[in-house]
Structure 1
Amino acid sequence: MGGSKRHNGNGHAARLSPPAQAPPPHVNHHQHHNNNNNNNNNNVNNQNDDLINYIYDSWNKVTRELERGSEDAKYYQEVLAPRQLANFRPFDLDEWWARRLVQSINRNKHRS
Structure 2
Amino acid sequence: MKIHNVFHPWLLHPLDGTPRPGQIMDEPQPVDIDVPEEEFEWEVDEIVDSRMNRAKKDPATGRKGLLEYKIQYRGFEGWNQTPSWQPYWDTVGCPQLIADFHHMYTKKPGPHESF
What TM-score, normalized to structure 2? 0.19
Write 1 or 2 for the structure with the bigger share of strand. Answer: 2
Q: Say which structure is richer in helix.
A: 1
TM-score (norm 1): 0.20
